[in-house]
Structure 1
Amino acid sequence: MEQNTDGAQPHDRQSSPDGGSAEPIRTNFMSDNVGTVSPEILAALAQANVGEAPAHGADSWTRRLEARVAEVFEAEARVFPVATGTAANALALSALSPPWGAILCDESAHINRRECGAPEFFTGGAKLWPIPSADGRMEAGLLASAVADLSAGGARLSRPAALSLTQATEWGTVYTLEHLVELTALAHEAGLSVHMDGARFGNALAHLGCSPADMTWRAGVDVLSLGATKSGALSADLIVMFDLSLAEDMERRIKRSGHLWAKQRFLSAQLLAWLENDLWLRNARHANEMAGRLARGLARHPAATLPFDTQGNEVFAVLPELLVEGLEAAGFVFLRRTAPPGVTGTLVRFVTGHDTRPQDVDALLEALAGTTE
């Protein structure tokens, strides 16, 4: 391979048809958090930055956001903007479980594997009760067994208090509406509230093609953590409470945790712009399309195996280690993952975003095709 003398990695640059320099190829597929902010959201922030506004959520942007959420989800709801998905999940769950409660979730769930004990901390000690699955989608029978085991344990075990479902899942799969209803019905029958981790909610919604209401409160979801940061926002996620009784003292929980923004209009302005004119769905559909393009290309490679269906914007592939190292040497960035039970080989994850372009995907596939085992 010819050595670069200008510091650029292979595939960093491409030429325009007239011989000039075009926008660099983007080689970072590590996460949808590495991407840019949507221009519409930057414009909304600039507009919100003109003049003064009441603090701590008493601003007009937050009021308009609550009205927009009610319109999008076809239901009255309380909304609480926060800056991160971890804050949204942990604070939402703190309203659903007492310190002695159990929060049932998939073993792969972000709250279980990627949030450094935040749900346990914010709930004051509630125990996460992970349930194994083959592809991130919990089975109803295993959920029923877990609830029964916990309920039979008396004071020796945590009381089952909440069910947390991830949509789309951590393995890039999406629950069907029928599957969601089956799980939430079991939970409600046992007296559990239902939380949905929707860090990639828009991607799941774009895949199913249903309404936001169908995938949330109509399916039995009481509280949603709605993620915008991974889909074009600067830093903004939203707690949406469809069960209004759970919203009591939520603002105090947020304040006590240090997550009540003084200048909340800058959170609400992002979320409002994201939900207006279907920007959130356009961003999600594009990210899904790019993931599908990548998955189809990987499926054609004789040495690649895709262990999960690509239903959102995450693509998982099992590749020979030498091919993985070749992609890394070519400058591509992605995540190595621990393979789930039954999967052998080097498991890697590629994530596409609202700003991933076809040429970015094609460059990765070309690099893979040119890498020898």
Structure 2
Amino acid sequence: MFFASDNSGPVPPQVLAALAEANTGYAMGYGADAEMAEVTSRIREIFEAPEASVFLVATGTAANALALSTLCQPFETIFCTPTAHIHEDECNAPEFYTAGAKLTLVPGAPGFDDKMTATALRATIAKEETRGVHGPQRGPVSLTQVTERGTIYSLAELHELSTVAKAFNLPLYMDGARFTNAMVALGCTPAEMTWKAGVDAVSFGGTKNGLMGVEAVIFFDPAKAWEFELRRKRGGHLFSKHRYLSAQMLAYLTDDLWRENAIKANQNCAYLVEGLRRANAPFLHDPQANMIFAALPRATHQRLFDAGAAYHLWDGPLEGDPTELVAARFVCDWAISKDQIDHFLALATQT
């Protein structure tokens, strides 16, 4: 009954087999391995972007911070939502890797504080860079897909945001830690959710979707490639034994594993949502992918925790009125079984 994070599940056997196969003989280091060449070719094919530059790093924070530092000068600001991972959960890594760029928060839509709107983005950008040399200059727009509250930008919303960014000649970056969960939920292609919608660079997440630890950073403008190469090396994120990153990503891209894992995670979450709705649990946000926020009585949380369930309380402590509703975050990965979900729901609905 583990719903704490999709970072915490097991690695698919196909990926472990690929690592074992890669662990024979010798291979050139620092990204010159044969597997990386094939990874680049497959990602270009999947994204319908034959000129795209592709790089692998081991963590989502490295992907975000290094990509944004490539798109942002130290005297510029990055536009993001108040709930963005780069703002709340990366220990100022973007500020560090950009050598001092700031973050400017774009207010979300009412009831959707994690999703910026084109209107709010335009107003926020317009207010920035009004003090000449004394204030920060306008920099990239960063959005998260799936958002930190489990919601998804529609293709129309992505186009609207990119139109605003391009009106100010600003690059658009997508934090895609849960990229494929959003893509399969929208029923679109990677290209439709990125460069065809005006996205300039994206992190193509693997770790939350089953990999041991790999994210791909993709630039659709190859002119940015060399600078990212330098920043990755200088930042300490260029692996010498790079083939072990490449092998994971190559297995991920083989036989649609990347897509199948996301479908499973989303379906598992939909199954959980169905059961919680039968229990009349209110949701903070409309469930759209593999992460939800639902409220249960404190007594129910206590019963679930006592039985070994793992998840995060969101808007209050466990101590207090046992009948009071407290919201919690639940995340489903590709591997959690229906039996575990059924056990959880049986405990959640127990009277």
Determine if the TM-score, normalized by the shorter chain, exceeds 0.5. yes
User: How far is 1:255 from its partner?
Assistant: 0.7
> Which of the residues 287, 292, 298 maps onto 2:276?
298
- 3-state SS in 2 of match to 1:33: coil
Report Cα offsets for 1:271-309 as digits up to 9, x if no partner: 11101211000000000000001011111113x201211
Amino acid at match of 1:231: N
Q: Is the 8 A contact 2:65 2:93 kept in 1?
A: yes
Other-structure match for 1:222:
200
Mapping of residues 52-63 of structure 1, within 5 Å? 52-63=26-37
> Which of the residues 149, 152, 171 maps onto 1:193?
171
Identity percentage of aligned residues: 45
Say whether 1:129 aligns with 2:104: yes
Mapping of residues 1-373 of structure 1, within 5 Å? 27-75=1-49, 76-133=51-108, 134-135=111-112, 136-302=114-280, 304-338=281-315, 345-370=325-350, 372=351
CA distance in 1, matches of 2:134, 2:315: 33
Q: Is the 8 A contact 1:81 1:239 kept in 2?
A: yes
Moved more, 35-44 or 155-164: 155-164
> TM-score, normalized by length of structure 2?
0.94
Unaligned runs of 5+ in 1: 1-26
Count of aligned pairs: 340
Amino acid at match of 1:329: D
> TM-score, normalized by length of structure 1?
0.89
CA distance in 2, matches of 1:346, 1:163: 33
User: How far is 1:155 from its partner?
Assistant: 2.6
CA distance in 2, matches of 1:325, 1:153: 53
CA distance in 1, matches of 2:347, 2:194: 40
Q: Is the 8 A contact 2:2 2:336 kept in 1?
A: no
CA distance in 2, matches of 1:185, 1:153: 25
CA distance in 2, matches of 1:338, 1:246: 41
User: How far is 1:132 from its partner?
Assistant: 2.5
Which stretches of structure 1, 4 residues or longer, exceed 4 Å deviation after superposition?
Answer: none
CA distance in 2, matches of 1:207, 1:281: 11
CA distance in 2, matches of 1:347, 1:214: 34
Q: Is the 8 A contact 1:28 1:334 kept in 2?
A: yes
User: How far is 1:345 from its partner?
Assistant: 4.6
User: How far is 1:226 from its partner?
Assistant: 1.1
- 3-state SS in 2 of match to 1:152: coil
Q: Is the 8 A contact 1:59 1:265 kept in 2?
A: yes
Cα RMSD (Å): 1.3
Q: Is the 8 A contact 1:294 1:315 kept in 2?
A: no
Report Cα offsets for 1:184-214 as digits up to 9, x if no partner: 1100110111110000001000101111000
User: How far is 1:320 from its partner?
Assistant: 2.2
- Structure exhibiting the larger radius of gyration computed from Cα positions: 1
